[in-house]
Amino acid sequence: MNDNNRPFTAEETRGLYRAIYERRDVRSQFLPDPIPADVLARLLNAAHHAPSVGFMQPWDFLVIDSLEVRRSVLGIFEQENRKAAENYPGDKGTRYRSLKLQGILESPLNLCITCDRSRGGTHVLGRNSIVETDLFSTCLAVQNLWLAARAEGIGVGWVSILDQQQLAETLKLPDEVYPLAYLCMGYVSEFLEQPELQSKGWRSRLPLEELIHGNIWGRPLDNAELLAAIGAEGKSEL
């Protein structure tokens, strides 16, 4: 067998699934300890090895440790968060306002992963029909970094309550570069057992078996063995 085709060991496989299941969107558990340069380099390299349509690699990485820049970003968040809170009246609005939804200043490092929508030129292989594949590809870079960070014991929080135009202006991005993910990063005091929004009663994880269709939308999956395996896997996570 070619060494490149060798399957992962059982321990390596468990580690991969553990990173997936224990990844968390971190907002409130950040420690002040800096991320060592070699660790950050590994995380960025993991992100850079994400798959991309047409191998366009549309991502760039803005490493943000400036308090001035981060305070400006926090101001954008606070403005947009006030607007978002208006969508939830009554008790839900009270609960929304109690949630910690960013760690921009508490985390020792912020990272913005951008998408250069012009990278690869006018005609990128595989992008002719679905032009958004550059954005999808950049999301895969975010996920690569997030899972690698969990394996390194580093928490990541995605701040999505931001006006993208104001963020782009703050970071002085070129017109063709879109600020896809603004991330807070750092070592943490703990990784919560459940996603924070689940533990706070905002939403629960949907049952996987209710999200699987057979061949066409809405048709039940006619595979009892797979459904039983999904049920058993769900119970093993509890």
Q: What would the 3-class secondary structure string for the chain be? A: CCHHHCCCCHHHHHHHHHHHHHCCECCCCECCCCCCHHHHHHHHHHHHCCCCHHHCCCEEEEEECCHHHHHHHHHHHHHHHHHHHCCCCHHHHHHHHHCCCCCCCCCCEEEEEEEECCCCCCCCCCCCCCCCHHHHHHHHHHHHHHHHHHHCCEEEEEECCCCHHHHHHHCCCCCCEEEEEEEEEEEECCCCCCCHHHHCCCCCCCCHHHHCCCCCCCCCCCCHHHHHHHHHHHHHHC
Are 75 and 159 found together in one domain?
yes
Domain count for the chain, please give it. Answer: 2
| Cβ atoms 109, 186 nearer than 8 A | yes
Residue 175 lies in a domain: yes
Task: Identify the pLDDT of residue 200.
Answer: 87
- Give the pLDDT band of residue 238 (cuts 50, 70, 90): very low
Q: What is the pLDDT of residue 5?
A: 77
95 and 123 fall within a common domain: yes
Does 72 share its domain with 181? yes
Answer whether residue 145 is part of any domain.
yes
Percent pLDDT > 90 in the chain is 87
Percent with pLDDT over 70 in the chain: 97
Q: Is the pLDDT of residue 1 over 60?
A: no
Answer yes or no: do 150 and 225 share one domain: no
Query: Does residue 119 lie within any of the structural domains?
Result: yes
Whether residue 12 lies inside any domain: the answer is no
Q: Which domain holds residue 155?
A: 24-193
Report the pLDDT value the prediction gives residue 77, as an integer from 0 to 100.
Answer: 98
Please report the pLDDT score of residue 4 as a whole number.
73
Q: How confident is the model at residue 89 (pLDDT cuts 50, 70, 90)?
A: very high
40 pLDDT more than 90: yes
pLDDT exceeds cutoff 90 at 232: no
Asked if the structure places residue 168 within a domain, the reply is yes
- 111 domain residue, yes or no: yes
Residue 79 has pLDDT above 70, yes or no: yes
Report if residue 227 sits inside a domain.
yes
Residue owning tokens 């039983």: 228
pLDDT per position as a tens digit, 180-206: 999 999 999 999 889 888 988 899 999
Average pLDDT of 222-233? 90
Please indicate, yes or no, whether residues 104 and 217 belong to a single structural domain of this protein.
Answer: no
Structural domain includes residue 131: yes
